[in-house]
Amino acid sequence: QGHDVWALTRSAERAQLLSESGILPIQGDVCDPSSLTKLPSCDTLLYAVGFDRSSGRTQQEVSVQGVQNVIDAVTGRCGRLI
């Protein structure tokens, strides 16, 4: 429908795959607020972050603090968060 679709990923390799699929990648980590500064303004943000045991992060860090970090990064610039 002509919408821009962005995706946040921690890995450069995944960013390349996303780009090849027509998705605009942003490299960052929901557990690192300083890496979220490039999140764009949006109508809808879908938070669909899976728990990666190899990341060295706890499930609470990803599922609770990660959500809060994203909310903080897009406050006032996002229509709705799903």
| 45-63 per-position pLDDT tens digit | 999 988 788 888 888 888 8
Token pair of 46, please? 């879908």
Q: What is the mean pLDDT of the chain?
A: 93
Task: Identify the pLDDT of residue 58.
Answer: 86
- Say what the pTM is: 0.86
- The dihedral over CA atoms of 15, 49, 66, 24, expressed in degrees to the nearest 10, equals 30
pLDDT of residue 1: 81
Per-residue confidence (pLDDT) for residue 16, from 0 to 100: 98
